[in-house]
Chains A and B, each alone.
Chain A
Amino acid sequence: MAKADSIISISGVTKRFGPVTAVDDISFDISRGEFFSLLGSSGCGKTTLLRMLAGFEQPTEGEIFIDSEPMAGVPANHRPTNMVFQSYAIFPHLNVGENIGYGLRNAAISKDEAGKRVSDALELVKLSGYGGRAAHQLSGGQRQRVALARALVCRPKVLLLDEPLGALDKNLREEMQIELRALQRTVGITFVFVTHDQEEALTLSDRIAVMSKGRVLQIDAPEALYENPNCREVAEFIGTMNVFSGRIAASAKGATTIDARALGKLQARGTSRKGDYAFLAVRPEKLKLMTKKPAASMNAIAGVVSAISYRGDRHHFLVTAEGHDRPISVSQQNDSDTKSTPMNVGAKVWITWPATTGRVLSH
């Protein structure tokens, strides 16, 4: 049932804790060598799913295959997976070298080979010469590297990472993101990465599964996820999204017109059935602010600037439009054009965007 090129195959997996369903009938495959992220807010079931892959939890229903082997009843210590824990779980009574070599005791390799693997692993995570350090002498970033090295030294088929960057400060986190991605390319091992940080998931992943309430909403490459979310929840979870609602007035050949009542008729990509209630989703950076009413071929909404925030590389505007309950987000690049047309709070503006940059979502 598992495809030949998939290292992990999850088939109809459900996990219940008493009356709570943490993971609800999930099925998907992860390809060999992929950097795959499970993305969702806390309580969405992503960590439970990861722990089922590691063998710390057993599915209530369904099956998990790793490298075509069924994992039912296989305990964590017999699985071809290793995990980087959120807390790193560095053994405090062992030094760095002993921590990294912990999993090699049961491997059928000589002491010399084990020692070589430990020093190779230290080099891989740029901690050469740290083998004799005590665990409590390490900084947060160094602990994270030790946890990575300790898992990779066992040469797992799949490396599981449970929000490993969550405890680091912003700059260190961004640095580690780049290193983690480079490391994954070097070792070529499949990474399954759990995070609640959508930016992190977009930066690192080959593919992302967006999860909510125990279900997978969408699995796609970062770009596809950002540009073509398949539902309102994904659209609003990944980045910022303006969503307008209304009934479909016309829809043909991938072009749809929505009657957004007070906002007028708006056009977008996508197909839907005429008369259905639907959403139009469009990103803030696709919108433009104008002082004059634009050409009729463009979508246009009249509004008043209610807030402006300066973000260095861009300005972020909030515009309130009559007939729309939430302020509309508009992001404008700080190029010479915006300087010449200053917008102030209270200014009457037109928000405009071409029909092709918005997307129709049925739910």
Chain B
Amino acid sequence: MLGKPSALFIYAIAFMIFLYGPVMLMPVFSLNDSTFATFPLKGFTTRHYASMLANTSMILSLKNSLVVGVIVSVTATAIGLPAAIALTRYRLPGGGPVLSAMMLPLVIPSIVIAVALLVIVLRFLHMNLSLWTVGAGHILLCIPFSMTVLMSRLEGFDKSLEEASRDLGENAWMTFVRVTLPLAAPGVISSLLLCFIISFDEFVVAFFLTGTENTLPVYLFSQLRFPNKLPGTLALGSAILLGSAILVVAADLLRKLGVQSAKPGDL
């Protein structure tokens, strides 16, 4: 009886190390007093964090990523919400194909999207590559995620709540403001968080579509060739790791909160 669970336990530990080991090494090396990310560890230092803060081009790319992330998350959610409402509330002619089309970016490799967008931007639109083109690409990637989150929230609540609002004298817009939006709020918030993280993390599309200004992942990639830049990069990576972990946990908590109150009609 004891043999089986303990084998499973070892497997589970090995699995966790495999999954999180590399990520956990990053904060360790970021506090190590050495220019190279190698064992044995030499001594504790926070100087890498100081050099990270002193690296203005790195901080600038961080700011770029934050700005793009915020704009992308707001835009993708603003586009996703009406689409999610339309697809969950009304029996649209061709609703199925429309939904599939909107979900397609989920299964297309981002390298394909990146190349296609690059061709469109340069050859057809004759635009210069910039953070705006990166943002546009990210919005495309984020919409299916935004819609998945929003649709599951909207499907969870009783359609008769909106009918009740109409019945009690409110028009379609005020019904949206007074009933649909407050009930969809947890979904909207987790969509914003999710889209922000996707945009913030994204490398391939950003690498292809960016101009002179870099987003953080692209900047970090360009710096990795120089070993003396590495510790500052590790420090930044650790800081971001902490930040994303907080965001993801917050998004998940909000989503669960939403699930709990999702069925207002039941007894």
Contact = CB atoms under 8 A, between A and B. Distances in A.
B267 A85 contact: no
Interface in B241-267: 261, 264-267
A103 B264 contact: no
Q: Which of B158, B169, B170, B266 has the most CB of A within 10 A?
A: B169
A76 B261 contact: no
A154 B169 contact: yes
Interface residues of A, number: 33
Interface stretch (B14-22, B40-48, B115-123, B159-167): B159-167
Nearest to B162: A89
Nearest to B264: A92
A270 to B, nearest CB: 44
Interface string A135-160: 11001100100000011001000000
Nearest to A93: B182
Contacts of A54: 163, 167
B236 interface: no
A23 interface: no
Given A89-B160, A93-B182, A93-B183, A76 B265 contact: no
B160 A87 contact: yes
A136 B265 CA distance: 9
A88 B158 CA distance: 10
Given A85-B160, A89-B163, A102 B168 contact: yes
A105 B168 CA distance: 9
Contact of A90 (B167, B169, B171, B265): B265
B50 interface: no
Contacts of B163: 54, 56, 76, 83, 85, 89
B179 interface: yes
A87 B263 CA distance: 11
A77 B167 contact: yes
Contact of A91 (B161, B166, B167): B161
Interface of A: 54-56, 75-78, 81-83, 85-93, 102-103, 105-107, 135-136, 139-140, 143, 150-151, 154, 167
